[in-house]
Amino acid sequence: FNAETWDFSFGEPFTAQTEQEILRLLAPGYIHGLTVLGGEPFELENQPAVLALLKKVRAAYPHKTISGLSCIVREGDTLAVGGCGRCAVTDDLLRQIDVLVDGPFVAEQRNVSLRFRGSENQRIIDMKTTLRAGSAVLWEET
């Protein structure tokens, strides 16, 4: 729903300084993690840069949670094995993410009482367990 983020020419370039600023902002103990969202982090053009950032976050802050938000359903073309939107880094990118909210926002299913998502069709997936199981396992709050 952020139409301006759909244009790859919009905004500021993602630079080494931007990356360092993100890492600096993650340093305080009251910051529990990082959420990567859109545009679309799983757009083919975005995946290599997102992966590089998440690897640096994971190395600097191994105990912080990394979450992702994607309008693409995990079993869909982009994230499915053999899907047309996959690239050489997709699996590694998924391994960096602890929790993935997937599915498009659907206005007719809008629900402001849901945690971490805006519409009832969206799922919260435990990516570590999902990757071990080979199919989507929903996240359960502990």
* Structure tokens given for 37: 């969202």
**pTM for this one?**
0.86
Q: Kindly provide the residue ranges of all beta strands, DSSP E only, lying in 9-133, ordered along the sequence.
A: 33-36, 65-70, 99-102, 123-126
CA distance 31 to 127: 21
Burial class (CB in 10 A: 0-12, 13-18, 19+), 14: middle
Please say whether the beta carbons of 61 and 28 come within 8 A.
no
CA 3, distance to chain mean position in Å, is 18
Residues of the chain with pLDDT under 70: 1-2, 4-6, 8, 77-80, 84
CA distance 100 to 36: 9
